[in-house]
Chains A and B, each alone.
Chain A
């Protein structure tokens, strides 16, 4: 039995994953290029240009303070992607060792660790993140940490499952027979073979992470007022939904497309 995941062989170049990857690339470029494209920054307001619709005078319209929506989207992309990456990194950093240890060792280590993970998983995701924020206080840092910690248990579970599958492979027994230590086995055999599946799951989680962070910011628990984070922009636009629907439609669209792209790529990778 091959130790490579089957999905690799089946992957072909199809339009949907390409479109998804393209969108993510666009967002990434915008995020990086924002200071150059829009040096005035996301706070630059102009009271005389408040509530302009998308059109000749403004590409995506302006909000109630006269700030350009496209400028805020670009700067918001930086925040959103950076925080999302940080949360994902935390989830992997916490969940991976726990999952590998549980799946790789088995026995009572597995039982204890998984029971603790189950304890966390009994709480709905957003509520768990909110509880962590109640402890840490509000702010963008807290949001990233909270979402990262909330995503970690699910990641631990997946890591454990994969590690368990790999553990029963013949070459693992061979390595153990030679006398390799558990850590060496984990590093040299389990991790490389489980790697692709773990990466794919991480990617799939990115969508959920972005949604959760957007929710926390929308509820006003995260970013500072005036922050161009996309969830925050949705909350800001809400008071002016009738006069300036574009102030909410575009940030939401950007977020949905990004999450969609992440989910589609995650599916395609499998």
Chain B
């Protein structure tokens, strides 16, 4: 039944999240040196003040106590405080979230459209020059780093042809190049999956049967093939979500956009570990949620999965 499936998936997701949170906690504790002390010292605090502050942050308590408190805070959606700015990490992340989310959504849209544009013709004209060409383009998409294609995009579409801004944010125009570059990079994997799924579906029995019944090719495509191919395409898009977050970090750097990417890079340079940990947890949460959502979507789209789920 769908409900049991959903419940088991949800439990699995929570477990993964707990594991991720524990890994993040351990990572912080394993750090050599004392970055917290270094950061506090840099702001001019004296040794006594640093000791007080460390006690306030609970950095000197025994490990299990810190771990327990950490878990409780997480449940209350408290991600701790930045060592560098002294502000709540959650707040800092929420401030930067809209910019990154806008980029992510726009890039996903571009990627899905491009992925379908590349994958469908390849599958429909399997074996011909169309297939080879579009498959080649897909592989190139996968292999091109966004930090290079981004610079090329700036060169052509911003410097030589002053069409779009090369840096910053604020208007939809600022999203065009970053979303285009990031979407282009992601589309390769999506195109591959689309092609593979469509090829498989075309060979499936029920499609042959539908054709034998006399349905026109166009209708066959729409009703059966697309519906069954879209599911896995969405699934791979969700899996790509992780890659896309990474891509967003780099793309934000190339196009000088503020967002989670800039936040986490600065945190790494300054060893502001609570911020790094906070971003990591948010990313893990987002990944788990989108996987769940993609599974559900796939279940809904593919009638075979909806009934008789095991």
* Apart from A131-B276, A215-B246, 20 more pairs, CB < 8 Å: A118-B16, A123-B284, A124-B245, A124-B283, A125-B242, A126-B247, A127-B249, A127-B280, A128-B280, A137-B32, A214-B147, A234-B147, A238-B151, A241-B154, A252-B148, A252-B151, A252-B152, A255-B148, A256-B144, A260-B139
A221, B75: Cα distance in complex, Å? 32
Q: List 13 A-B contacts (CB under 8 A).
A: A118-B16, A119-B23, A124-B246, A126-B247, A127-B246, A128-B280, A135-B27, A137-B32, A138-B269, A219-B250, A231-B145, A252-B148, A260-B140
Minimal Cβ-Cβ distance residue in A for B151: A248
Task: Judge if B264 is at the interface, Cβ distance under 8 Å.
Answer: yes
Whole-angstrom CA separation of A119 from B12 in the bound complex: 11
Contacts A124-B246, A133-B268, A249-B152 given: A211-B145 contact, CB under 8 Å?
yes
B42-81 residues at the A interface, CB under 8 angstroms:
none
B267 close to A (CB within 8 Å): yes
A120 adjacent to chain B (CB < 8 Å): yes
Q: Which of B24, B143, B151, B268 contacts A221 (CB 8 A)?
A: B268
**Chain B's nearest CB lies how many Å from the CB of A123?**
5
Residue of B nearest to A251 (CB): B148
Chain A residues engaging chain B, CB cutoff 8 angstroms: 115-116, 118-120, 122-128, 130-135, 137-138, 207, 211, 214-215, 218-221, 231, 234-235, 237-238, 241-242, 245, 248-249, 251-253, 255-256, 259-260, 263-264, 267
A221 to B151, CA, bound (A): 19
B20 at interface by CB-CB < 8 Å = yes
A27 to chain B, nearest CB (A): 14
Are A215 and B250 within 8 A (Cβ)? yes
CB-based A-B contact count at 8 angstroms: 147
A218 touches B139 (CB 8 A): no
Residues of A within 8 A of B28 (CB): 135
Which of chain A's residues have a CB closer than 8 A to the CB of B151?
234, 237-238, 241, 248-249, 252
Find the B residue at minimum CB distance from A120: B23
A234 vs B241: C-alpha distance in the bound complex, in angstroms? 25
- CB of A70, distance to nearest CB on chain B (Å): 18
Give min CB distance, B83 to chain A, whole Å: 12
Q: Which residue of A lies closest to B15 (CB)?
A: A115
- B160–chain A nearest beta-carbon distance, Å: 9
Instruction: For A219, list chain B residues within 8 Å (CB).
Output: 249-250, 253, 265
Q: B9-33, CB under 8 A of A: which get 1 and which 0?
A: 0000001110110111001101110
Residues of chain B within 8 A (CB-CB) of A235 are: 147
A197 to chain B: closest CB distance in Å? Answer: 18
Name the A residues within 8 Å of B15 (CB-CB): 115
Contact assessment for A127 and B245 in the assembled complex, using a CB-CB cutoff below 8 Å: yes
Contact of A127 among B19, B143, B144, B279 (CB under 8 A): B279
| Closest Cβ–Cβ distance, residue B119 to chain A (whole Å) | 16
Neighbour of A126 across the interface among B23, B152, B154, B249, CB < 8 A: B249
